[in-house]
Structure 1
Amino acid sequence: MEKTKVLFHVSENEVWPKALTNIQNFLKDVSDNQVEIELVANAGAVNFYYDNDKVNLHEQMSSLSSRGVKFAACRNALQAHSLKEELLPEFVQVVPGGITEIVKKQSMGFIYIKP
């Protein structure tokens, strides 16, 4: 059976808690080996990866990552906000462009969700 592929798109910091809850709730309904999930952050949402006041949410992201959820940050947005790639949490991969990643994943059959 082919995995269900889901792409979450976060472009605003205030959406992060909702997006992470959406992913957790989704994973309650399907087994980890039946789904491929990626969350792409672009625009101002990339700042969240660096927010040390959000330790509990960073722990939640790390836990989701250990279950196979992929987290991506847009390089264009990182550069626009003068953020250093090497300071990202280890579970975050950098993609050249958030929108490019979204288009690529949708062409691969990912279902797009913007919480």
Structure 2
Amino acid sequence: MSRLKVLFHVNENPRWPRVIVNVQNFIKDVGQGQADIEIVANGAAVTAYGSGPEEDLHREMQELAALGVVFAACRNALNMHSLAEKSLPAYVRVVPAGITEIAKKQSQGYAYIKP
């Protein structure tokens, strides 16, 4: 089987726990290092990358990033929610526009999943 490429899209904060579990289960199923995985956050979901009471969520994100999962944040959404890029965790990559990132990844053969 060829290497899988998967893009998870999250735009609402309440969806984060489901996204994290879906990615964890995906990795368990295909094996660590066997797929290119990116999570793109836009809309209100980018606020989860900021500081706050979500310590467990940040720990899980960091663990997934250590496994090679790419976390992306939409710059437009960051600006809309007054989040400074420099305040984001080091594992978060900022993209100019989340929707454009999704379209680019789909054109590169990534499967689109929106839990």
Could you say which TM-score interval applies, normalised by the shorter chain?
Answer: over 0.9
Distance (whole Å) between structure 2 residues aligned to residue 61 and residue 92 of structure 1: 9
Where in structure 2 are there 5+ consecutive unaligned residues?
none
Structure 1 counterpart of 2:55: 55
SS at match of 1:100: helix
4+ residue runs of structure 1 moved beyond 6 angstroms? none
TM-score w.r.t. structure 1 length?
Answer: 0.97
How many equivalent pairs are there? 115
Where in structure 1 are there 5+ consecutive unaligned residues?
none
TM-score w.r.t. structure 2 length?
Answer: 0.97
Distance (whole Å) between structure 1 residues aligned to residue 51 and residue 3 of structure 2: 33
Alignment of 1:87-106 (within 5 A): 87-106=87-106
Structure 1 counterpart of 2:34: 34
1:20 aligns with 2:20: yes
Q: CA deviation at 1:32?
A: 2.0
Distance (whole Å) between structure 2 residues aligned to residue 42 and residue 101 of structure 1: 10
Distance (whole Å) between structure 2 residues aligned to residue 39 and residue 46 of structure 1: 11
SS at match of 1:32: coil
Letter in 1 for 2:42: N
1:57-85 deviation per Cα after TM superposition (whole angstroms, max 9, x unaligned): 10000000000000000000001111100
Q: CA deviation at 1:31?
A: 1.5
